[in-house]
Amino acid sequence: MNVGIVQFPGTNCEYDTRYAFEQLGCTTQILWHKNDTVAANTDLLVVAGGFSYGDYLRSGAIARFSPIMQAVIDFAHKGGKVLGICNGFQVLTESRLLPGALKRNEHLHFLSRHHHLQVVSTDNAFLNRFTCNDIVNIPIAHHDGNYYIDEAGLRSLYDNDQVLLRYCDAQGNIANPNGSVDAIAGICNAQKNVFGLMPHPERAMESILGSSDGKRMLEGFLNA
């Protein structure tokens, strides 16, 4: 599988993401934000985490206007698979590839720790190796991870099976670290080819580092 990884000024997870996908046997390419094309043989585009443009204005708000994003949008509109992780999720909402917005964490603190997630939907390329209600342990590292969407939008997400992950404790009880609506940690678009989540699966590839649950997440794209 050929994976393109988008890099902006301030991105800091592109090499972790490259390492993760190369561990799965994928061929990877780092795509600088000034590029305006994507290789024709690309199977997956990943908008990696970090602090694009220093998170000025709003997280992801400036990155949305980089030349590479028009190529990402075109790729997605043609059915190509796109994954946004943390700041990448923020960029995808700013680009309107995903609904909703990411706000400052409810308690105004930067969060950096492992956190449990409950799998809500598996009828998609990303989480097809799981069953609904599985619990995973994935690192989070964000200051603006408070997912917001209005009531009508939230109903639409559930009606279209677009909610992928919710924050929980080890037993599956809701444990919301940042104030996200309905404790949502990850979603997809209605067509189920664009995915976004605040936690970092690329940092959960090896048990020695705390969890290998992220590996099983990313492996889903290999089976799609």
Residues labelled as active-site residues: 86, 200, 202
In which residue are the tokens 């919710």 written? Answer: 166
Q: Write the single-letter amino acid at 134.
A: D
The packing angle between helices 213-223 and 14-23, to 10°, is 70
Q: Alpha helix locations (H) across 54-202? A: 67-77, 87-94, 151-159
Residues β-bridged to residue 165: 119, 186
Report which of 66, 41, 67, 3 is spatially closest to residue 202, judged by C-alpha positions. Answer: 3
